[in-house]
Structure 1
């Protein structure tokens, strides 16, 4: 389904669409949120809303790249030279002064270079007695000087818009003399776990039939790992009025409905939002696990419905929720889905008619697909750190052949 349609009892998304088509629809609807200003330490994981330009030159002056002695190259042309030390320049000094013919100055790494010097001789090649410094032979190779602006110049763009803020990019921004960054704000997320049978973990064993809610905490962690802020969580019975009321009680950019995505008698995930103006963008994706996944909007909120089977829900969250968060933060799909080709360590059987995303484990040797791939399985996830993509009707894979692989946890 490629057009938005208001969901009613009479209008359901009957036709399946491919994963790539569904992802493209989601990406088109997920426009970046508004920009805010954050400190360098608070902006980690966000994406730049505006470019970062250098506010100064780096280095700010000609400086020493090594500990040693600043000299005039012309003083060293005739072999061994003995020069007179006239001072020392330290990193942080404002001005190193000047050296004349036959003079040298001790310099530390990063220290300003004295005027007149055009080379730094490494300290290992010098011998000092009193104020006399002897250099046994003319130095070769680099002059060991960092020229002003050789790293970057004032006004130069250091980081373009939509750059993700990582430790490396924070370093670059700070080097450019920025303490605050204009970034796209983090999406606010509401998690709604539905099902009469689910109980808070730690309480289910006290009764005969409840099962622990294994998904809320897992999806919460995935959201926060992707850069979002989880502002509300609720466990709800299979009651459409309760689901709709929970949505109205929280202001969220993304509402994640866990469970109730299929067509059972008590699967009210989509129907609960119909009175709130839900417009379905897609539903029933031609993939496994997670075929019942659905996505739509209600006003400014994005609503994603995950299946209730744990392995399927975690897989779908990785393939749709993380890209949705990333797009709203100003990132690209490739940021959210860094697929890599990795060699298979063991044979993988031919795939069926639906595209499959298989839980797997990566290692130094390659990627190994797990033997059991049931959507409700949970224990095997402890040994899974990746998804392997298998196109519909893909041929068998032999050991050593490359397969598309995605980290399961962002």
Structure 2
């Protein structure tokens, strides 16, 4: 049995980006840049007005005379002429500044009659002009490789006149649940002795949230032939296979030995953590298999710790991005910890984190109430309310 840090280091070492591919911006949400995004245009492409108003020569304001309105400019349409002394151009927000003008007077500060405009308001020192290239210039790197393309990053890429981006391929994920006692949700009530299978739904949703493409999710009985066929199918189609259940040492816990028989090298098996001691991790060539406990809370805790780390790295992020621990204040006491590193399900209560009262690994209602995990090192002493602890979002 190895420590949590030793197991995590093995996953991190294996979590290297998959092949790169090029996608359109419309398909890039949540993807990770494989190369920097470089501006293809200046922004803005010329001096532009940032307000609706009139473009004129700033020096002419001191004359106090009315201005002749000689034309109009709209966004994307430049006035075809030069602003001379005593002249002005009506323009709107985003319109290119006419040649010869160096100031915009906002429309609220003027009065207009026909083709004559007078300044009637008290002017501020602002010129209301966004200079050419003040945002970025052609050739500048706007987004570094490794950037996760969210809404704001996509705006920057589109504004740089970029239509496609090179990104790391999303890991293909299959999730297998095992156990004779399991039934598909909605069918357990009609079969005596069965329970609804739930862990695979959580593992698949967590995988998708961390960049995976879900290929399949299916349930298998504790039958060697059925499990072998399912494992073969999963390895044929996925980069990562998650198996829930069959990770312990029971009489029908076949999952790990079946994947070994199919050529999977076990990189670790059993970790000194609570919950989740039976978790295991293996590799077959460029494919990975993560075996999670069957109890829902144990499965979700270990998936949060190891599956997210693996998927972060495979999809092009730093694996460490998955486990960014931060400090939070306890609002209720914690008991001392045994020799196994412990991950306590807890929730924010407005002022800090409060451990859930029942940490049983099979609970599902309590699982839904938790939104953070508290990390407790082996042999940690009892911690009173007000103590600082390490947490991650759950």
> TM-score by structure 1 length?
0.91
Q: Output the CA distance in 1 between the equivalents of 2:356 and 2:290.
A: 27
Deviations 1:216-249 (A, max 9, x none): 2222222222221121222112234432322222
Is 2:66 the counterpart of 1:66?
Answer: no
Q: Which residue of 2 aligns with 1:42?
A: 27
- Which of 244, 249, 257 aligns to 2:228? It is 244
- Which of 315, 337, 343 aligns to 2:323? It is 337
Q: Output the CA distance in 1 between the equivalents of 2:80 and 2:33.
A: 39
Q: Which residue of 2 aligns with 1:202?
A: 186
Q: Which residue of 1 aligns with 2:152?
A: 168
Partner SS state of residue 321, structure 1: helix
Is 2:205 the counterpart of 1:233?
Answer: no
Partner SS state of residue 312, structure 1: helix
Partner SS state of residue 124, structure 1: helix
How many pairs does the alignment contain?
A: 392
Against the structure 1 CA distance between its residues 347 and 141, is the aligned structure 2 distance closer, same or farther, given a 3 Å change threshold? farther
| Unaligned segments of structure 1, at least 5 residues | 1-15
Q: Output the CA distance in 2 between the equivalents of 1:179 and 1:132.
A: 44
Q: Output the CA distance in 2 between the equivalents of 1:121 and 1:215.
A: 63
**1:173 deviation in Å?**
0.9
Q: Which residue of 2 aligns with 1:5?
A: none
Q: How does 1:11-410 map to 2 (within 5 A)?
A: 16-77=1-62, 80-136=64-120, 139-249=123-233, 250-408=236-394
Partner SS state of residue 77, structure 1: helix
Q: Output the CA distance in 1 between the equivalents of 2:326 and 2:309.
A: 16
CA-atom RMSD, angstroms?
1.8
Q: Output the CA distance in 1 between the equivalents of 2:325 and 2:262.
A: 36
**1:401 deviation in Å?**
3.9
Indicate if the aligned counterparts of 2:110 and 2:121 stay in contact, CA closer than 8 A: no
**1:300 deviation in Å?**
1.8
With 285-294 and 95-104 compared, the bigger mean Cα shift is at 95-104
Indicate if the aligned counterparts of 1:96 and 1:112 stay in contact, CA closer than 8 A: no
Indicate if the aligned counterparts of 2:44 and 2:133 stay in contact, CA closer than 8 A: yes
**1:345 deviation in Å?**
2.6
Deviations 1:177-198 (A, max 9, x none): 1221111111111211111111
Runs (4+) of structure 1 exceeding 4 A deviation are none
Indicate if the aligned counterparts of 1:50 and 1:183 stay in contact, CA closer than 8 A: yes
Indicate if the aligned counterparts of 1:241 and 1:272 stay in contact, CA closer than 8 A: no
Partner SS state of residue 326, structure 1: helix
Q: Output the CA distance in 2 between the equivalents of 1:201 and 1:336.
A: 30
Q: Output the CA distance in 2 between the equivalents of 1:314 and 1:108.
A: 54
Q: Output the CA distance in 2 between the equivalents of 1:144 and 1:396.
A: 61
Deviations 1:39-79 (A, max 9, x none): 2121211111121111111101110011122121111235x
With 162-171 and 264-273 compared, the bigger mean Cα shift is at 264-273
With 385-394 and 366-375 compared, the bigger mean Cα shift is at 385-394
Q: Output the CA distance in 1 between the equivalents of 2:39 and 2:197.
A: 49
Q: Output the CA distance in 1 between the equivalents of 2:278 and 2:9.
A: 18
Indicate if the aligned counterparts of 1:77 and 1:138 stay in contact, CA closer than 8 A: no
